[in-house]
A and B are shown apart, each in its own frame.
Chain A
Amino acid sequence: MNWKRAFLFTAGLGAPAIALLSYGMTRNPRDIPSPLPGREAPVFTRPVFAPGADSVLRLPVGDSVRLAAHRGQIVVVNFWASWCLACRDEHLDLSQTATAFAPKGVRFYGLLYNDKENNGLRWISDMGGQAYPALSDPGARTAIDYGLYGVPETFVVDQRGRVAHKFIGPVGRVQLSKLLDSLLIANGDSTRVGPPDVSTDAAVTRAVTPPAAGVAKP
């Protein structure tokens, strides 16, 4: 038995291999990194194609939503599609959370990703409605800005317009509520109850003409 050689080989070959595997135990391969959390959320201006059922959140079809004008409010931006099965899982949770937090000034928008508006509308009615408005994202511009890997992904934008958190995959009601509560408390908004401030109006540009009438007649 040549102990010196045994030691050299074990230290030289074995140790690095073991170190690499041990390092692996500290990582989670399912975490997809995003530079966004903590940074300024990419702003967008997108038209509403489904109004939303909640009386506070509802917006007329054709209105334009501007994220930049939502400063001071928490905005939850959910990317979804009618062909996305995991989106079905989170749909009810998102809708209920949206209704629950609407009085506290939290805004929810669903951005349709890579899908036709008609499919999206049918999906919403199949799923039994949706509390918050759905926006279309032609050319997936916003999805690209947000570095989307797939649907569903949900971004929570805080009162200062920064991405506070990114959810990959279906969002649960409990985790989302906890996050929103903590954001509200951190910014001293927890006491504010009731209809949101005026910024909502600034964030939404009213459609000049109702789309049905405006398009059909030359």
Chain B
Amino acid sequence: MTRILGLASIWIALAMSVYGIVCAVIGLTKKRPAFVIGGMQSVYVNFALLTISTAAMVYALVTHDFSVGYVAQVGSRSTPVFYTVISLWGALEGSILFWGWVLAMYSAVVVWTNRKREGDLVPWAAVALMTVCLFFCILLVGPANPWGLVSPTPADGPGPNPLLQNHILMAVHPPLLYLGYVGMTVPFAFAVGALLSGEIHTDDWIRLTRRWTLSAWAFLSLAIIAGMWWSYEVLGWGGYWAWDPVENASFMPWLTATAYLHSVMVQERRGMLKLWNVNLIVSTFLLTILGTFLTRSGIISSVHAFTTGTIGYYFLGFITLCIIVSLVLVAGNSEKLRSDGQLDSAASRETVFLINNLFLTAFTFVVVLGTLFPLVAEAFKGVKVTVGAPFFNKMTIPICVALLFFMGVGPALPWKAASREQLRTAFILPGGVAVFIVVLALALGMRDGYGIAAFAFAGFALVCNLREYAIGTRARMRAHGEAPPVALVRLIGGNRRRYGGFLAHMGIITIAAGITASSSFRFEREATLKPGQTMAVKGDLSVRLKTLWGKDEPQRQVVGADVEILRGGTVVGALDPRMNFYRSQDQPVPTPAVRSRPTGDVYINLMAFTPDGQSATLRVILEPFVPWIWFGGLVVAMGAVLSAWPTARRSTRRVAYAAPQRAASSVPGTAFPGGAMSMTQATSLPPSAPSNQA
């Protein structure tokens, strides 16, 4: 029954997508508004249908309905309910269903929020969204059908992949990833809509797109960080990023979306980079599909790769369609995408945006090249090669260091052109901090050039971004006599997009510092201990194995080691690294134990043990500043939310138009050179928007 309901919903959604596309396209080309509206409304029906199908799948999973193919594949009576529910995205078919549902939800939101908008842009965008939705419906009735009938009904199933039921982050990382990944379809649909409706030369579509890109980007950022965290907490190798094709698949669209979020400002302010921005949006979407294709088709070998089947051919067909449509539309309309303005000065914010875009594009190119290199090499040289972390690290670390530097320079520079005086005041303090960090690092014995540069530029960029907050707050305090916290809150409230952006910068800087520190100062030691024995790790830090224990759980057997952490002989903490033996798999799944402190983690992995409990081999890894990476990810997301959260429209308008004049009159520019500088940067100047916020 559940099976029929779930499958029928998808078939109807497929039919509704076809109906919607045909109806809307006829309406749009033959100028029949009623057809357009009718066609667009099928996105709501689709959302309802896919919600039914997804809910039915969750129901089937929870009730252990093993007659359903997907449940028989990932379900098990011994799996806890929580992991049963989240196994919805634990394998190919379920993840495609979830993908389709997220896409249908986004499509419905897009059409609903723009229902009063005039013009053909949104209808065409809806056609694009429905086409993507149609593709996923085809997958769901074809190669990725989760509703296949299993007969006779098995009594029990194998349960989800042990790795996917070992940590709570499995409930967080995949949904975030889909929200971000699928979210990138919306900007693409808007771009297609703008190109097809002829509204591409207006900047209106850019405004529609920006917030969608920003929120998808925020989800994707969080998803990547959550994925790193999961890999760190679960896989037991003490690392968080391996340049695996699947990681790259999530990272490539993130890079192009990041580039877009910056270059779109240049278009909004100066009317430049129009063609470039369209290209970035289209590339972001194509990279999400490419990433999915690479990991679902099995053409690239990866630890994450899903089981392969015919689905690769479907994706190949779809990616071909997307590439052709995108290229035809963008190249065919490129003449409409000429720049209105041009660069005035090398020392201006738009120049830094341009540089940032070049670096981010180069970064994307390196990652795409590294990921596809096995394919290229085999196609042209007939040899099997893979490029691993050394290639990626060598190529991308210099780019990251440069990006860190420009992350500081950009916010400090005004639009159009900066004067010499402005440059001097802006960079004396951050430059000093950078020099201080270099001296400090050398004094502490650090000799890795890129490591030192990364720390120095991180410090530089952090000071530059913090300085923007400080200048604005101080200006408000002087102008309105506000207390510092009030001034800061109102400053941010007055121009959340700007200060949210700086906050996101600080998050990225924190992540960069965490990555640099944890990879530069990582220390590891391994030893086999008997219960009661102590091993010295580093300095006065040592660990003692207390006991080795075993425990039976319904779905697995757990072997754990109780380990005490000692500093100078006194116990400061306890950890219990484990090894889990799932009944469905021969290979044990480790659960490392991590003791996190802001200055770093003690990471212990149970490597081996003797069955009689007489000894255990422990690997202890010291990873300095790793928690900064997770914290930084949260800061990035907060920054993005701050920027993207919709404002009550009236008050923003008033701020935007009323602010600058009043600011200019109330803050003497000569007294606050920095304050004067930030005034040229933002039209809706924050220090002077008191009335609306009060």
Contacts and interface: CB of A to CB of B under 8 A. Distances in A.
A10 B328 contact: yes
B324 A20 contact: no
Nearest to B302: A29
A160 interface: no
Interface stretch (B45-53, B369-377, B423-431, B683-691): B369-377
A84 to B, nearest CB: 11
A154 B241 CA distance: 33
A6 B332 contact: yes
Interface string B365-399: 00000001011101100001000000000000000
Given A6-B329, A14-B327, A29-B299, 7 more contacts: A9-B327, A21-B316, A25-B297, A25-B299, A25-B313, A29-B301, A89-B586
B312 interface: yes
A17 B323 contact: yes
Contact of A6 (B316, B319, B331, B586): B331
Nearest to B321: A18
A17 B225 CA distance: 30
B457 interface: no
B186 interface: no
Interface residues of B, number: 32
B372 A1 contact: no
Interface centre among A10, A20, A29, A30 (most CB of B within 10 A): A29
Contacts of B331: 2, 5-6, 8-10
20 contacts: A3-B332, A5-B334, A6-B327, A6-B329, A6-B332, A7-B328, A9-B327, A10-B331, A13-B327, A14-B327, A17-B323, A18-B323, A21-B290, A21-B293, A25-B297, A25-B316, A28-B298, A29-B374, A32-B384, A33-B384
A218 interface: no
Interface string A13-52: 1100110111111011111110000000000000000000
B297 A23 contact: no
Contact of A85 (B298, B333, B587): B587
Contact of B335 (A2, A17, A18): A2
B333 A27 contact: no
A23 B372 CA distance: 12
A9 B378 CA distance: 25
Interface in A51-93: 85, 88-89
Nearest to A18: B320
B586 A85 contact: yes
Nearest to B384: A33
B629 interface: no
A20 B332 contact: no
Contacts of B374: 29
Nearest to B372: A20
Interface string B23-61: 000000000000000000000000000000000000000
Contact of B324 (A10, A24, A30): A10
Contacts of B379: 20, 23-24
Interface residues of A, number: 29
Nearest to B375: A24
B334 A24 contact: no
Interface of B: 290, 293, 297-301, 312-313, 316, 319-320, 323-324, 327-335, 372, 374-376, 378-379, 384, 586-587
B321 to A, nearest CB: 10
A22 B384 contact: no
B332 A24 contact: no
B333 A30 contact: no
A97 to B, nearest CB: 20
Contacts of A2: 331-335
Contacts of A85: 586-587
A6 B323 CA distance: 12
A61 B320 CA distance: 62
B300 A24 contact: yes
Nearest to A27: B378
A188 to B, nearest CB: 36
Nearest to B378: A27
The 5 closest A-B pairs by CB, nearest first: A6-B332, A9-B331, A24-B299, A29-B301, A6-B328
A100 to B, nearest CB: 24
A14 B323 contact: yes
Contacts of A88: 586
A20 B320 contact: no
A22 B376 contact: no
B336 to A, nearest CB: 10
Contacts of A31: 384
A25 B378 CA distance: 12
A206 B404 CA distance: 69
Contacts of A25: 297, 299, 312-313, 316
Interface centre among A2, A3, A13, A30 (most CB of B within 10 A): A2
Contacts of B328: 6-7, 9-10
Contacts of B335: 2
A23 B586 CA distance: 35
A17 B375 CA distance: 11
Nearest to A30: B301
Given A2-B332, A5-B334, A9-B327, A29 B300 contact: yes
A85 B312 CA distance: 30
B691 to A, nearest CB: 49
Contacts of B376: 20
Contacts of A10: 323-324, 327-328, 331
Contacts of B323: 10, 14, 17-18
Contacts of B319: 18, 21
B29 to A, nearest CB: 14
A130 B587 CA distance: 21
Contacts of A14: 323-324, 327
B375 A27 contact: yes
A39 B658 CA distance: 83
A132 B587 CA distance: 25
Contacts of B378: 27
Contacts of B301: 29-30
A147 to B, nearest CB: 13
Contacts of B297: 24-25
A13 B283 CA distance: 13
Contact of A27 (B293, B299, B316): B299
A78 B80 CA distance: 40
B584 to A, nearest CB: 14
Interface centre among B297, B316, B332 (most CB of A within 10 A): B332
B372 A5 contact: no
A36 to B, nearest CB: 15
Contacts of A21: 290, 293, 299, 316, 319, 375
Interface in A98-125: none
